[in-house]
Structure 1
């Protein structure tokens, strides 16, 4: 193109007669430039290479010298130059045509290559999607299924992945993990089943021990009939046995077997020959050491006091911890039962002695004194008969004997009534209700009772004294007061017991010095025994009021903060 323009400009300038400088240097540079050389093949046999060489030869040897000739050329020279330029232009057009064809071929080749690459890309993408699906998505889905099944504790599914890639390795690892988890879960389920069975046995054993506790702690003396059935049931539940219970003599510390399960003969110190608690099993077992069983020796103790031992035989395999704990609880339960039985027996003995002491004191304070008075009157009557005293004097002694016998008989009836009330009712309140009802019927009037005392506050001795004081006061009201109403108040406040007996009768002649009747003397003696104070005075509204105030033994023990031994002794007194 530049060549044509340059040649055209030169031709026109020459034709118009204008002198213009011819610049073939630029065309020469373009004709031999690198840009044009890069578009032409280097093969000398190629058509474009030969066409370019013809242009370069024609330019160098024909057209360029003609253009550089002097400007004084003729018309013919100009025509010749024009034809030469036209020939050059034609050659250039041929080269340009070759270049255009080459470019179009390259463009078509580029388009075909693009289509080919698009097809190749589609194929590669399809292959990649297939590979991703079957080598990534499907394995991941399998792994997700395995994970969900494992989360639901189903370890049977396995991964079917093969190969050495990461997912296959993960699948193999997952299979191994599932197998190990399945084994672990199976072992855990077996342990849980064993634990469940063990807990069920322990629960049943605890139920048996709880049901037997009522008979054990019931206070009976027959330990065999209450403990033997429990021990046999525990043997069946815990797969142990036989069991032997031995107790120590508290005096010489001798060990005495008192109970054996699976025994051929009765224990040496069996107290009931009609009891067959040890002889039920038709196939007795021997308490001997062998290679199939072992013996567990448990102490039967309360605190530091050893009461006996419990021998438990069991199979050779080791006892589990729960069974050992149950056997320890069994030993503690038997120890408590034996200890309570001994304490109950001791308290019964102490209670019996206390009751006998109370009865003896009551007989001494009332009936014995009356009999002593009667004995003295009989001796007086004998002396009068020896001295041949007058009939009138002897008659007076007979009257005193008659009154003494009546008083003694009355006191005996009071004592019998008091002891019957004590035995028939639970405590002082019931006995006072019975006494109030009795004197209401005897007096034919109302006798009110106001009782407000905590339970188990008074011991039996104090209850007897309070009851006798109330009965003696009501008897005096019945005999001397001519009352239409009477009231008994028994209250506990400020660590003191207040006993008040009131009536609306005729009252006392001298309020400051009440008469020293025999009944009042007994009441004062009982009050002194209780370490209390007694006061008698006329009521402002009429009648007499007797008031006794004393501190119960329980309250004094609480205030003095007793030693454990004293508190234990008092607890036994209260329980009795």
Structure 2
């Protein structure tokens, strides 16, 4: 773990800098220590040198103690005692040292020995002599007492003290010389350490520069050169991996990138060709889908549509034959609708199959796309398609909104394998064909429903007009027959005009119905078509019609316009037959909402009685049904003696533009 961590570049750089810092701190610390010791030695030299002056002063004061000057003798004794204490204090200071100044003797055995000798000479020889001299000076002249060191005061003379002081000074000189030589030695080592520190700084700087160049600059330079060569499309460049640090990882990554780029560049042309072929194939598939979708949307019969569909996929996949078959769910049969490239015998044998028979019938049960390799089937000799030379039979199903409609076959005389993309394409084409077939069926049902509804309206119109007229004529003929049998000629004369009037009325009704049935939208606006209808009504009935119409709104679909014309025709027909009116007003307001009203000045009727008739009054019901077809609201307003008004209203929410 530690070795792996040391292999990191950041760890090595930090370790290197910390090592140089530790050495620098050690050298600087030793330099500071030597400087501090030299400062203490220098102070010790000054203090030790002061001992010589103090010793000479002590000898001088001792000489005054026995002089002829009485005043001098009296002053010398106290000063001599003070000098003794001063020298004692100086020796104590040298022995104990003072770290604050700093002041201390160098910690060497030779200097300590010399100092011990100096202190011994002072305390054992010089100081006792001085004390004895002071004691002799203060004694009675006749009584000489010994000192603490065993020296008799009578034997001590100032001259002896001076002699002893000179020897003490020589010892102090030796101590000072020893301290000076030690200071010289420490000064040498101080300069040596400073030179070492300078050399270390220079060597460290050079070493750091070299190591940083070796660890950082050189790998970056190699990487930059590799990138330059890579930019010049020299994908053979590789970087040496000579470490396990970050740059080693980066070099390995660069080499891996170079390997991939070299491989990609070497196979680029092949990949471009592959992608181009894939795009061309996809374009062909899209073109086939677009062509098939456009073809299937055209109005045509189911046979024509399936035949064109089969021709397109057969040409695209190079099929030698094929067929489209539809399922009859009521009888559980599969009928062949169209075929290509297969023999008449095969068509006759498989024109109608039961679900579960043969390979195709089995595929209907599973409803899964199947590709049969007939050469690998053991029962292929029993299959008519194999006997005709086909090697591969594919079956793809036709769906419309998850409703199963049938399947289509592709026959190949060679062994064919479909890719997943081709299988998906054929399944999509099967869904397109199924949607087209289902749309045809829905359109046929819609046409049947429209025809049925229109026939219902025709029947209602016939019932409301011709049927009632024929019923009236039937009653009149019966009355005529009875009058003839009874020879009542006056009744016959009155019945014949009524028969003629009934026949004329029925004839007018037939003409009006034929006219309404033949009504077609002319080129132009809704208003122009209404004016055409109103003009015919004026000519046929002789009733004046006032038209007030605008058409500022969005145009209606043609189906809606036709229903509006039928409603106007039916309303005008009711005016002619029942209202006995002399004036009709037609109002049309076409803005966001659409409003159409037909009002007459006829005798009117009670609308409550009309509600009791229910379905008997067919004309009103026909108008309401036509209004419901276009999501409009139809209102009938009438009062006896005040005319009738039919109002059709289409709100903007239900209005659909063409």
Residue 319 of structure 2 corresponds to residue 319 of structure 1: no
Indicate conservation of the 8 Å contact 1:447/1:486, yes or no: yes
What is the aligned partner in structure 1 of residue 184 from structure 2? 104
Q: How does 1:137-216 map to 2 (within 5 A)?
A: 139=219, 160=239, 162-164=241-243, 166-172=245-251, 174-175=253-254, 178=257, 209=289, 213=293, 216=296
**1:18-65 deviations in Å (ceiling 9; x for gaps):** 6778989969x88x97987954659xxxxx99x999989999999899
Q: How does 1:133-532 map to 2 (within 5 A)?
A: 133-136=213-216, 139=219, 160=239, 162-164=241-243, 166-172=245-251, 174-175=253-254, 178=257, 209=289, 213=293, 216-217=296-297, 219-222=299-302, 224-225=304-305, 228=308, 232=312, 236=316, 244-249=323-328, 251-259=330-338, 263=341, 289=373, 295=394, 297-302=396-401, 305-310=403-408, 316=417, 318-320=419-421, 329-352=428-451, 355=454, 359=458, 366=465, 406-421=504-519, 434-440=532-538, 443=542, 445-448=544-547, 467-468=569-570, 470-474=572-576, 481=581, 483=582, 485-488=583-586, 500-503=598-601, 524=617, 526-527=619-620
Indicate conservation of the 8 Å contact 2:289/2:429, yes or no: yes
Q: Secondary structure, in 3 states, of the residue corresponding to 1:421? A: coil
**Aligned equivalents of 1:201, 1:539: Cα separation in 2:** 81
Q: Secondary structure, in 3 states, of the residue corresponding to 2:183? A: helix
What is the aligned partner in structure 1 of residue 207 from structure 2? 127
**Aligned equivalents of 1:239, 1:180: Cα separation in 2:** 43
TM-score with structure 2 setting the length: 0.51
Q: Post-superposition shift, 1:447?
A: 3.8
Indicate conservation of the 8 Å contact 1:499/1:549, yes or no: yes
The answer for unaligned runs of 5 or more in structure 2 is 1-48, 67-72, 97-103, 131-148, 349-370, 377-390, 590-594, 607-615, 626-634, 649-658
Indicate conservation of the 8 Å contact 1:439/1:447, yes or no: no
TM-score with structure 1 setting the length: 0.57
**Aligned equivalents of 2:428, 2:458: Cα separation in 1:** 44
Q: Post-superposition shift, 1:247?
A: 0.9
* Count of aligned residue pairs for this structure pair: 489
What is the aligned partner in structure 2 of residue 116 from structure 1? 196
- C-alpha change, 1:434 and 1:60, in structure 2 (3 Å) is closer
**Aligned equivalents of 1:349, 1:169: Cα separation in 2:** 83
Q: Post-superposition shift, 1:118?
A: 1.2
**Aligned equivalents of 2:122, 2:637: Cα separation in 1:** 168
- C-alpha change, 1:130 and 1:109, in structure 2 (3 Å) is same
**Aligned equivalents of 1:373, 1:245: Cα separation in 2:** 59
The answer for unaligned runs of 5 or more in structure 1 is 43-47, 270-286, 492-496, 514-522, 551-576
- C-alpha change, 1:474 and 1:432, in structure 2 (3 Å) is farther
